[in-house]
Amino acid sequence: MKRFTSLCVLSAALLTADAVRADSLAAPTPSPLSAGNHGTVLKDKVNVRARGNKTAEIVAQLNKGDSVDIVEHKGEWLRIVLPAGANCYVSTKFVKGGVATSDNVNIRCGPSTNYKEVGKLAKGEAVEVVKLQGDWVAIKPTAHCTGWVAAELVEIAAAAPPTPAPITTSEVVTPPVSLPAAPMQPAEQDEVHVRYVVRDGIFQAVKDTANAPAPYELLTEEVDTRQYRTAYLETTDKNLARYEGKHVRVRGNETWRRSQRYPVIAVERIDMVW
């Protein structure tokens, strides 16, 4: 009788442990948001700030339904690419004829060094000047100018799932009698996915162009002295030597064929990332 009671207690303990494991598997810890996501603003007059806190300078305002490109999710704040009407200023000491004359030029959210920086310019980078204000010029924000909004005021779009690898199955059928050959079936069409993307990475010219679908590629940062390709880049711009080996952000239509290992991005715009 005592042995039977002990077995019952042990069985109950095992069932409880299995239930706990099942609960833990059913609620995995969510992964952090990656760059390249999009979101939609949920309210009118949403402030975009220079930093992720409520006391930082207001750089711009967004309205309900506005679409934003999300760079980072940090706590209760999202870092986004600044909208076209955001406040961006550069000292006239570092801009001549709408072109930056130095590297690492600060773009600030007001016409003074007392304002926070919201981006940087590389030497030779062109900007669109809006107006002159004393020793400062107001410019349209570049693609790498960013600000912060409260995460609760933005609905984040679900990321598109990766293209699954093709599954090959085979089946052998032995007919009881000799059958005529089946007619040839047309080759399976190559499945194609196209979407607009914003991607960060290391820019590099492809070394083996004979086996590549495009002349440039986007790589990850070095991981244990290795870099990994994330996409090929297709562009008509031939003056890209200054981006070689640099951290960049590219925008454009990404085409991913089922038969290809890597997608190809038709680059609409490319900018340095600091």
Is pLDDT of 148 > 80?
A: yes
Q: Please name the residues in contact with 129: beta carbons below 8 A apart, sequence gap of 6 or more.
A: 95, 98, 137, 138, 139
Each residue's pLDDT tens digit, 71-94: 889 999 999 999 988 999 999 999
Question: Which pLDDT score, from 0 to 100, does residue 181 have?
Answer: 58
Give the count of beta carbons closer than 10 Å to the beta carbon of residue 49: 21
% of the chain with per-residue pLDDT over 90 = 44
Domain residues of the chain, as ranges?
37-156, 192-272
Is pLDDT of 183 > 90?
A: no
When the pLDDT of each residue in the chain is averaged and rounded to a whole number, the result is 80
Q: Are 202 and 246 in contact, with CB atoms under 8 Å apart? A: yes
Is pLDDT of 34 > 70?
A: no
DSSP letter (8 states) at residue 226: B
Q: Choose the CATH number for 37-156 among 3.30.43.10, 2.60.40.1180, 1.10.730.10, 2.30.30.40.
A: 2.30.30.40
Is pLDDT of 207 > 90?
A: no
Mean pLDDT throughout 48-64?
94
Hey, which of 174-183, 233-242, 246-255 has the most confident mean pLDDT?
Answer: 246-255
CATH 2.40.50 fits 192-272, yes or no: yes
Question: Tokens at residue 179, please?
Answer: 């059958």
d(CA 54, CA 118): 16
Is pLDDT of 147 > 60?
A: yes
**Residue 81 dihedral angles phi and psi, to the nearest 5°:** -70, 130
Is pLDDT of 56 > 90?
A: yes
Question: Tokens at residue 23, please?
Answer: 């609960």
Question: Which pLDDT score, from 0 to 100, does residue 184 have?
Answer: 55
Name the pLDDT band for 240 (thresholds 50, 70, 90): confident
